[in-house]
Amino acid sequence: MYTEVGEQMAEQNILNGNQKQLEQIIGDMKEHNSKKERLEKLSESVKDISKELDNAQKEKQNETDSKIKASIDAICDGYDKSISADKEKIKNVTAARDKAKMAGVKDRINAETASLRAENYDLAEQINEAFIHENISKICNSQMFIAVFNPVKLLDYVIDVILLLVIFAAVPVILFVLPVIPQWILLVYCIAVSLICMLVIKCIYRAVLLKHKETILAAQDTRIQILDNKKRIKKIEKNIKKDKNEDMYGLESYDSKINSLHDEISRIEEEKNAALEEFENTTKKDIVNEINERYEEKLSSMETELQKKKAEYDDLDDLVKKQRIYISSNYEAYLGKDFMSMDKLSELNQIMKSDSADTIAQALAVYNNRH
């Protein structure tokens, strides 16, 4: 592009130039276009090599990571299996220990409540013997009977209230609300219940309570004592279950086994950590070095080729920019941007070859007249 003709053209108005100068312009444009095409190919080549290099580096890293992970997994596998086995043993021993403790707690509860349970048994037998001796029904010693005929405790009065509500409120309301039941049924029910209650209470009161009052009242006091003993038994059970002291249950062998297994797990974990540290300090470096050596030549070659292509691209890019500036200043400024295409420049050249124009300016005039 920087030929003698080009230098002369740069110093004068190219519109006054002849066919030789026009051919110089065409040659410069062809060279510029060729350089741009080459620049585009170099750009694609740089992108492709960069992508291949990046993929190769990723492949190397993936292989390194995979091999290191496989080695670590292989080291940990044996230790982890041993630890899992010991943990399962701890679980089984702990379950056996809990079972032994529950049996010990049960035995302790039985031992510490034996006297109260024996006392309750004797008290219950006293009631049974007294009732049998006086031919009194066991029903007279039930919670319901006591609640109805001789309420003493709060529970007795609660039962009384519930019975009254059911008999004299709930059932009448149901009979009144249900449309299929005639109203006279409700009246009959109320009268019948009232009569039955009066007759039953009167008969039971006369036949049982008046006749065996002292025995029934004594049985009621004894029953209260039995209930108190049961409360004391429950309190003892609760205190024993809450007691943190396990010395009396003989669990030392289980605790010793569990502690031994925990120590074994700690020892295995220390060995595992030592093996991993040894791998980190020696084997891992050997793995990395071996893989790096295998990829070194390939990656080095690709990096060298990439740098070469980048350098070539940069040089060519500078040249194309200079050509673009030269063409813009010396050609495009005179001919206009529309005539910076090979087709139009070739047509101008044909005009000058046919002797229709002696200068580029005249060729432009002929072209404009034709179009």
Check pLDDT > 80 for residue 155.
no
Check pLDDT > 70 for residue 32.
Answer: yes
CA distance 27 to 17: 15
CA 307 to chain centre: 47
Specify the pLDDT at position 149: 65
Which pLDDT tens digit goes with each residue over 286-302? 999 999 999 999 999 99
Look at residue 167 in the predicted model and tell me its pLDDT.
Answer: 72
**pLDDT above 90: residue 165:** no
Contact assessment for residue 210 and residue 136, using Cβ atoms and an 8 Å cutoff: no
What per-residue confidence (pLDDT) applies to 96?
A: 94
d(CA 254, CA 102): 14
Residue 316: predicted pLDDT: 93
Quote the percentage of the chain above a pLDDT of 70. Answer: 86
- Predicted confidence at residue 223, as pLDDT, reads 84
Average of pLDDT values for 127-141? 76
Compute and round to an integer the Cα radius of gyration of the chain.
56
Per-residue tokens: 205: 């009161």
Q: Which two tokens stand for residue 260?
A: 């031994």
Are residues 89 and 240 in contact, defined by beta-carbon separation less than 8 angstroms?
no
269 backbone dihedrals φ, ψ, rounded to 5°: -65, -35
- Whole-number Cα distances in Å, 177 to 14, 23, 114, 166: 119, 119, 55, 15
**C-alpha–C-alpha distance, residues 179 and 183, integer Å:** 9
**Least-confidence region, from 14-23, 57-66, 271-280:** 14-23
With a cut of 60, say whether residue 4 has pLDDT above it: no
Confidence of residue 218 (pLDDT cuts 50, 70, 90): confident
Is 206 a residue whose pLDDT tops 60?
no
* Mean pLDDT, the chain, whole residue set: 85
Residue 368 or 118, more confident: 118
Label residue 112 by pLDDT band (50, 70, 90). very high
What is the structure's pLDDT at 87? 94
Residue 10 confidence (pLDDT) above 50: no
What pLDDT does 99 receive? 94
Position 8 scores a pLDDT of 46
Check residue 207 and give its pLDDT: 56
pLDDT bucket at 116, cuts 50 / 70 / 90: very high
Has residue 361 got a pLDDT over 90? Answer: no
Tell me the two tokens of residue 342. 């090979």
Tokens linked to 267? 């020892």
The mean pLDDT of 310-339, rounded to a whole number, is 90
Range with the largest mean pLDDT of 8-12, 154-158, 332-336: 332-336
Alpha-carbon distance values, 279 to 2, 66, 72, 124, 276 (Å): 66, 15, 8, 77, 5
* In the chain, where the domains are located: 155-211
Tell me what pLDDT residue 302 has: 92
Is the per-residue pLDDT at 209 higher than 70?
no
pLDDT at 211 over 80: no
Checking phi first, is residue 182 left (phi over 0); if not, alpha (psi -120 to 50) or beta? beta
User: Would you say residue 262 has pLDDT above 90?
Assistant: yes
Stretch 19-30: mean pLDDT: 90
Average pLDDT over residues 201-219: 66
Does residue 104 contact residue 250 with C-beta atoms inside 8 Å?
yes
| Contact in structure between 352 and 19 (CB atoms under 8 Å) | yes
The percentage of residues in the chain with a pLDDT greater than 90, rounded to a whole number, is 48
Confidence of residue 9 (pLDDT cuts 50, 70, 90): very low
Confidence of residue 365 (pLDDT cuts 50, 70, 90): confident
Burial class of residue 146 (count of CB atoms within 10 Å of its CB; 0-12, 13-18, 19+):
buried
